[in-house]
């Protein structure tokens, strides 16, 4: 079978469950005139705003920050990643909300890696939390399409990197290399390691070589023994990562394992 010269590894599936789970709340919009008694209709000026009409009564809805309202398919209008949305005259979007990871251009979406030397990884931002994701070798991330493509197919908007500047260190962590046996006693193709100084995060070494940083949900910590995210109370070395325990001898400043810092 002849191989296609234009290979795209789409990141859409990463967001599929995320998009389906979102159900934005609306507010009454009594001044909006519904074009039809029932349906979803785009705002004439703002590309991430739309209206739901039910029996002629309208509600105003904002897409989750970073997504746009796609009205290209009748009766299948929805909020999606912006890469294939034609906003036309709908030139405005909501402002970036505070509190998101500074590496995220918007709270949700896929973006260039923040290190200028890295082109074979990208940032997957989910509700303001940034996760580093690898492109399958030998593809590179193209922000124009929101996916990974071969180097010769990169668009004019894609970031360019030199192969001599492969980024093999994150937060001071480098993949140690060699064979790694996981908690189940099996050889890991992509070994997992705890972050050297942050209990919430961990690294997956892509084919044992390239580190990719991931994180547990806020309030959870990574258990290096079984490589799962758990409540801090279940991980002795990180039980005081977020706060010292009430009966701690050093309640305002303690180590992750609840011991007091050496004076």
191-194 own/partner pairs: CB under 8 Å, 24+ apart: 192/227, 193/224, 194/222, 194/224
Nearest to 121, CA basis, from 199, 204, 191: 204
Q: What is the pTM of this model?
A: 0.57
Ranking 1-10, 127-136, 192-201, 217-226 by mean pLDDT, the lowest is 1-10
pLDDT digits (tens, 9 = 90+) for 93-149: 998 888 889 899 899 999 999 888 889 999 999 999 999 999 988 899 999 899 999
What the block records as the tokens of 120 is 């074979």
pLDDT digits (tens, 9 = 90+) for 190-199: 889 999 999 9
Residue 246 has pLDDT above 70, yes or no: yes
Q: Could you tell me what percent of the chain has a pLDDT over 90?
A: 48
What the block records as the tokens of 159 is 């970031």
Ranking 63-77, 126-140, 147-161, 241-255 by mean pLDDT, the lowest is 241-255
Cβ atoms of 175 and 209 within 8 Å: the answer is yes
Confidence of residue 34 (pLDDT cuts 50, 70, 90): very high
- pLDDT score for 218: 87
Query: Rounded to whole angstroms, what are the CA distances from 41 to 48, 54, 148?
Result: 11, 11, 32
Residue 2 has pLDDT above 50, yes or no: no
pLDDT digits (tens, 9 = 90+) for 113-123: 988 888 999 99
Q: Could you tell me what percent of the chain has a pLDDT over 70?
A: 87
Report domain extents, the chain: 11-84
- pLDDT score for 237: 93
């Amino acid at each position: 079978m002849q191989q296609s010269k234009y290979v795209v590894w789409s990141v859409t599936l990463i967001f599929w469950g995320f998009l389906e789970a979102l159900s934005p709340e609306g507010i009454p919009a009594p001044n909006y005139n519904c074009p039809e008694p029932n349906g979803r209709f785009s705002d004439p000026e703002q590309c991430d705003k739309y209206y739901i009409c039910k029996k002629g009564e309208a509600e105003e809805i904002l897409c989750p920050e970073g997504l746009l309202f796609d009205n290209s398919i009748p009766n299948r209008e929805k909020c999606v990643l912006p890469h294939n949305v034609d906003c036309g005259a709908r030139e405005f979007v909501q402002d970036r909300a505070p509190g998101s990871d500074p590496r995220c251009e918007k709270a949700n979406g896929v973006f260039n890696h923040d290190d200028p030397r890295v082109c074979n990884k990208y940032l997957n931002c989910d509700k303001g939390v940034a996760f580093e994701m690898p492109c399958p070798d030998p593809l590179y991330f193209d922000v124009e399409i929101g996916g990974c493509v071969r180097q010769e197919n990169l668009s004019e908007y894609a970031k360019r990197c030199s192969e001599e500047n492969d980024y093999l260190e994150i937060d001071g962590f480098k993949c140690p290399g060699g064979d790694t046996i996981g908690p189940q006693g099996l050889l890991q193709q992509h070994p997992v390691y705890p972050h050297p100084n942050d209990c919430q995060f961990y690294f997956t070494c892509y084919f044992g070589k390239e580190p990719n940083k991931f994180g547990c949900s806020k309030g959870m910590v990574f258990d290096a023994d079984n490589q799962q995210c758990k409540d801090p109370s279940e991980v002795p070395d990180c039980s005081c990562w977020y706060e010292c325990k009430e009966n701690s001898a050093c309640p305002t400043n303690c180590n992750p394992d609840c011991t007091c810092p050496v004076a």
